Amino acid sequence: MSLLRRLLIEAGRRAAQNPELRRGAARIAGEVYGKVAPKIENAGRHVVETARQTSSEVRATDDPLGFARRFRDRLLPPEDDRR
């Protein structure tokens, strides 16, 4: 094991044993989750709605590749390449 790797692992162990550091990390994680959770939920709803719309046009069991292409195109519209 390299010296740098050992140092990083030991630093991680010591950080995990420090209660003050763990409380700070938990506080930061809570703040980040509070900001990100609504966006993740909205993205999930968008994926489900896109799948429903696509399945109304193409059956995934009949044409899986066509379904996947249409789903991708609806979910991720092509970007404008003009720079």
pLDDT by residue for the chain (83 residues), tens digit each? 799 999 999 999 999 999 999 999 999 999 999 999 999 999 999 999 999 999 999 898 899 999 999 999 999 877 765 55
The pTM for the full model equals 0.59
What is the DSSP secondary-structure string of 7-68? HHHHHHHHHHH-HHHHHHHHHHHHHHHHHHHHHHHHHHHHHHHHHHHHHHHS-TTT-HHHHH
Residue with tokens 């404008």: 80
68 token code pair = 């996947």
